[in-house]
Amino acid sequence: MKFAHLRVEGQSVARLALVQEDAALFLDEVMDDAPRDLQDLIEKGQEEVDRVRAFGLGAIQGGASLTQIDELRHASAVLRPPQIIAIGANYAAHASELKLRSETAATVFSLWPNSLTGHGSTVTWPSDLATQVDYEAELGVIIGRPARRVSVANALDYVFGYTIVNDITARDLQFSEAQWSRCKSFDGFTPTGPVVVTADEIGDPQDLWLTTHVDGRILQDASSGDMVRTVAEIIAFLSTTSTLLPGTLISTGSPGGAGYSRKPQVFLRDGSTVTVSIDKIGFLTSNCREI
């Protein structure tokens, strides 16, 4: 299944929808007790997921009215996550190009919830604060049930689904401070989407292709199989010290090709368009504006 948070143009509140190809079914139009968002659905557990799946697919097969996606606006694919955890330097090429050390343990930091935004949104930043704004294609992992001290062998059993993350980063701030959260957590600096795809439709998360286009140029093009630490290893590692709560979003790191390391450097500018694509999930596009 594919889920998205969508709204009709002019509405202020996004609603949870099932996505079928280029159309969407708003669950609250066919269910009196529909979950209000993906977080609500995940927290209610697998029985609720199964119920929504059966009800939604049954409604579609029964001829329920669908709305074309291109008539709708996306919100972040995840809303109200209990935590947004990011993994740094998880592709050797990216760590090397930014001259970051590959530590024995994973580099872990948090992204702030104000940074979440959706597909098709406009990302803004003050030009007097950041001039080296970079893109980072990442596979996002959404935890489906509490994970505490899980093994690598069983870790993927705790995944609800996957999405695309663009971990936008103000490099001038990143390399002037001793932490990474602030430079990556400007309002709207974490676009996610366009959908969350359930784990059963993805299969092996280490067999996906990530691509970044900036203003029509391909600047990142790599396999998730190049991760230093696999999705399963990341979940097992994080769960050794903290329970990963349902709905937690983990951004698993970016491959090589960052704009900061290019000669000449390539940064997002006023009017830039950046699109990140991942196999089986889709395309996540952001428009850029300096303010």
pLDDT of 162-211, one tens digit each?
999 999 999 999 988 988 999 999 999 999 999 999 999 999 999 999 99
Q: Which residue has the higher pLDDT, 18 or 95?
A: 18
Which residues are CB-neighbours of 86 under 8 A, at least 6 positions away?
108, 109, 110, 111, 138, 167, 180, 184, 250, 251, 253
Long-range contacts from 28-37, C-beta under 8 angstroms, 24+ separation: 29/64, 29/65, 30/55, 30/56, 30/59, 30/64, 31/55, 31/56, 37/5, 37/79, 37/80
Q: What single string gives the DSSP state of each residue in 122-133? A: EEEE-TTT-S-E
Return the closest-CA partner of residue 251 out of 83, 40, 2, 133: 83
- Look up residue 148 and give its two tokens: 């505490």
Q: Tell me how far apart the alpha carbons of residues 198 and 186 are, in angstroms, rounded to a whole number.
A: 28
Give the pLDDT band of residue 102 (cuts 50, 70, 90).
low
Long-range contacts from 95-99, C-beta under 8 angstroms, 24+ separation: 95/228, 96/256, 97/256, 97/257, 97/258, 97/260, 97/261, 98/258, 98/260, 98/261
Q: Give pLDDT tens digits for 206-250.
A: 999 999 999 999 999 999 999 999 999 999 999 999 999 999 999
- What is the model's pLDDT at position 254? 96
Give the pLDDT band of residue 98 (cuts 50, 70, 90).
low
| pLDDT of residue 283 exceeding 80 | yes
| pLDDT of residue 95 exceeding 60 | no
| pLDDT of residue 94 exceeding 90 | no
> Do 289 and 123 contact (CB within 8 A), yes or no?
yes
Arithmetic mean of pLDDT, 261-274: 96
- Indicate the average pLDDT of the chain: 95
> Residue type for 19, please?
V
Taken in order of first residue, the domains within the chain and their CATH numbers are 2-74 (no CATH), 84-290 (3.90.850.10)
Q: Tell me how far apart the alpha carbons of residues 180 and 201 are, in angstroms, rounded to a whole number.
A: 32
How far is Cα of residue 248 from the mean position of the Cα atoms in its chain? 11
Q: Tell me how far apart the alpha carbons of residues 49 and 276 are, in angstroms, rounded to a whole number.
A: 28
